A and B are shown apart, each in its own frame.
Chain A
């Protein structure tokens, strides 16, 4: 009997004081630590999360002030995750995701460069 144990290959992508995004190479997933819990996203759902967060018009929400709703519900289709966030938390998660995607794109650039250097 062979036992294949998958070693956790988790590396930090980006962190702020409100949360952190980690990448799990073996599972090909991302772990988003935010609002007191850790949620795991595959590529498709991470893109959906990003789209949902970026689509929130923060300025508009601020202008609405007391008249508007104080919470934002981020529901991601076909994913078990749902966030109910205050406006400040929305700003914080947007910050986190923006940083994470910059790092992921940077990682891509590094991979491309390394490959070219060896090729």
Chain B
């Protein structure tokens, strides 16, 4: 009996559903960042708001990368429902703490897919995921750096204003 499933699709149904879950996760990230951009804007942190708008756009691009990969490999990409987006934060700092939590959970879930690819010898998807692993390095770095600003600048006095200004300048440029 021919392997007809393989003829139709490069990826297994298991990997396909994991990738669809990731599509949802990226869409969720994008929405969270959008809500953070709104909160920051409403509270006078314009640079941070701008920073989160950019992050939201990046997450949308990540979502599309996964989405198109699933389709290109012959799978069925599922447009996700995005619900339960937190709209209010208790403090400026809390926004960045949650941004880092979000990135850590994304790194974990991509690693998890990578592990499944390895055990099923799906090297093609592993190669595709490499880009995301590198991207997560940058994402976590930026989120950590933002939180670090709260430590080195301090929130007293005009601290938060200073932090906001510096968030706009966070960059990651590693050659490695």
Asked if A pairs with B, the answer is: yes
Residues of A that sit less than 8 Å from B by CB = 11, 13, 23, 25, 28, 30, 43, 47, 101, 104-105, 107-108, 111-112
Q: Are A11 and B1 in contact (CB under 8 A)?
A: yes
A94, B76: Cα distance in complex, Å: 20
Contacts of B1 in A (CB 8 A): 11, 13, 23, 25, 107
Q: Are B5 and A108 in contact (CB under 8 A)?
A: yes
Interface status of B42 (Cβ within 8 A of chain A):
no
A43, B76: Cα distance in complex, Å: 12
Q: Are A107 and B3 in contact (CB under 8 A)?
A: yes
Contacts of A30 in B (CB 8 A): 4
Q: Mark B1-25, 1 if CB is under 8 A from A, else 0.
A: 1111111100011000000000000
Please name 16 pairs of A and B residues whose Cβ atoms are closer than 8 Å in the assembled complex, sorted by A: A13-B1, A23-B4, A25-B1, A28-B4, A28-B7, A104-B5, A105-B5, A105-B12, A105-B13, A107-B1, A107-B3, A108-B6, A108-B12, A111-B3, A111-B6, A112-B121
A47, B121: Cα distance in complex, Å: 24
Contacts of A43 in B (CB 8 A): 4-5, 8
Size of chain B's interface in residues, with CB distance under 8 A?
A: 12
State which residues 105-137 of B face A: CB under 8 Å: 121
A105, B1: Cα distance in complex, Å: 12
Q: Are B4 and A25 in contact (CB under 8 A)?
A: yes
A89, B11: Cα distance in complex, Å: 31
A49, B132: Cα distance in complex, Å: 33
Contacts of A112 in B (CB 8 A): 121
Q: Shortest CB–CB separation between residue B14 and chain A, in angstroms?
A: 8
Contacts of B7 in A (CB 8 A): 28
Q: Are A47 and B3 in contact (CB under 8 A)?
A: no
Contacts of A11 in B (CB 8 A): 1
A11, B4: Cα distance in complex, Å: 12
Knowing A47-B76, A105-B12, A108-B12 are in contact, say whether A23-B121 is a contact too (CB < 8 A): no
Closest to A13 in B: B1
Counting chain B CB atoms within 10 Å of each CB, which of A11, A28, A108 scores highest? A108
